[in-house]
């Protein structure tokens, strides 16, 4: 009874509008699933069950590929486990650090091959979990991996979630400056969904703001009074590039192009693709 009570209490953490949670079948199934994932995650990484996919980022002016984001999927027993089933758990138990480094190295391997084969590689961004920020020197390991494959750090874009920059226990500004000093390009992912202040944004050494898809979904495409309009104005004032995520229709393309967005990422142009399919895509759209 105590064990189940503790599990129920844990469900209320971070949910400020929820004062209690009753242990039920849904929570029991969730915990069972998490236990199964945790029992197999180490072996899954060893067996390379985690696959890297690439989703193109398209230049709004030329409609040519200008970059890509590396995404991870877990292929287990012939089935694909979506990221929302394992990423939050890995962030909680800190296994995300191992997974992030694995994905980063896989991307570095691919880029090294593409440089030899195509003489051109679109700027590829790799997600870096907030958990890494608990170790101020984590970026040194990333530099070592890049050097292992003879890559310049300038060829790699690290995507940092906005939530990683607002934890008061972490000197995120110092860490971001160190990442930039090592030569990496820095993007802020999920911008607008966290709580970073505008004054903090002004002082952060970032190159690109990725505008979350929720701002497109909720925008009135015939109005200039949407939040995304003002985010674009702020970005231009700060001199940073913009990527709008989740663009799926021609009307949305025209809308973000009119706003002066630099890059577009979304199903209108392409879904995330496996390496071989992505190679074919970018070799035709350079």
Q: List the CATH number of the domain containing 253.
A: 3.20.20.450
Pair 196, 107 in one domain: yes
pLDDT of 199 strictly over 70: no
Reported confidence tier of residue 193, pLDDT bands at 50, 70, 90: low
Average pLDDT of the residues of the chain = 88
Please check whether residues 29 and 71 belong to one and the same domain.
Answer: no
> Torsion-angle region of residue 257: left (phi > 0), alpha (psi -120 to 50) or beta?
alpha
Per-residue pLDDT band for 263 (boundaries 50, 70, 90) equals very high
Q: Are residues 79 and 25 both part of a single domain?
A: no
Answer whether 133's CB lies under 8 Å from 179's CB.
no
Among 270, 259, 271, 199, CA closest to 231 = 259
Q: Is it the case that residue 196 has pLDDT exceeding 60?
A: no
What three-state secondary structure class fits 91? helix
Q: How confident is the model at residue 16 (pLDDT cuts 50, 70, 90)?
A: low
In the numeric block, which tokens belong to residue 28? 């029991």
Query: Which DSSP symbol is given to 239?
Result: T
Same-domain status, 260 and 164 = yes
Output the CA torsion 163→164→166→168 (10° steps): 140
Q: Are residues 12 and 104 in the same domain?
A: no
Higher pLDDT, 209 or 14: 209
pLDDT at 160 > cutoff 80: yes
Q: Are residues 157 and 176 in the same domain?
A: yes
How many domains does one find in the chain? 2
Average of pLDDT values for 239-264? 92
Domain that holds residue 41: 1-45
Pairing of strands 65-76, 50-59: antiparallel
Specify whether the CB–CB gap between 235 and 228 falls below 8 A. no
Instruction: List pLDDT tens digits, range 112-152.
Output: 999 988 877 889 999 999 899 888 889 999 999 999 999 99
Distance between CA atoms of residues 18 and 233, nearest Å: 36
pLDDT of residue 194: 59
Output the pLDDT for position 122: 85
Q: Are residues 195 and 174 part of one domain? A: yes
Q: Has residue 78 got a pLDDT over 70?
A: yes
Q: Assess whether 96 and 18 both reside in one domain.
A: no
């Amino acid at each position: 009874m105590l064990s189940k009570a503790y599990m129920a209490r844990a469900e209320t953490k971070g949910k400020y509008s929820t004062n209690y949670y009753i242990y039920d079948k849904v929570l029991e199934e969730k915990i069972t699933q998490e236990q199964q994932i945790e029992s197999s995650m180490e072996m899954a990484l060893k067996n390379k069950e985690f696959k890297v996919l690439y989703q193109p980022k398209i230049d709004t002016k030329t409609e040519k590929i200008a970059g890509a984001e590396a995404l991870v999927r877990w292929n287990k027993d012939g089935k694909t486990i979506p990221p929302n089933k394992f990423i939050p758990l890995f962030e909680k138990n800190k296994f995300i650090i191992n997974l992030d480094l694995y994905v980063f190295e896989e991307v570095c391997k691919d880029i090294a091959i593409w440089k030899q084969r195509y003489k051109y590689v679109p700027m590829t961004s790799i997600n870096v979990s907030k958990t890494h920020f608990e170790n101020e020197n984590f970026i040194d390991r990333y530099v070592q991996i890049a050097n292992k494959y003879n890559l310049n750090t300038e060829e790699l874009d690290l995507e940092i979630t906005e939530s990683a920059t607002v934890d008061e226990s972490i000197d995120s500004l110092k860490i971001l400056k160190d990442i930039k000093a090592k030569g990496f390009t820095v993007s802020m992912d999920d911008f607008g969904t966290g709580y970073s202040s505008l004054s903090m944004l002004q002082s952060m050494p970032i190159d690109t703001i990725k505008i979350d898809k929720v701002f497109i979904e909720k925008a009135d495409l015939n109005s200039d009074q949407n939040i995304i309009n003002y985010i674009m104005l702020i970005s231009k004032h700060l001199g940073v590039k913009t990527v709008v995520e989740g663009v799926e229709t021609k009307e949305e393309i025209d809308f973000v192009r009119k706003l002066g967005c630099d890059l577009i990422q979304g199903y209108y142009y392409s879904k995330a693709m496996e390496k071989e399919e992505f190679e074919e895509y970018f070799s035709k759209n350079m």
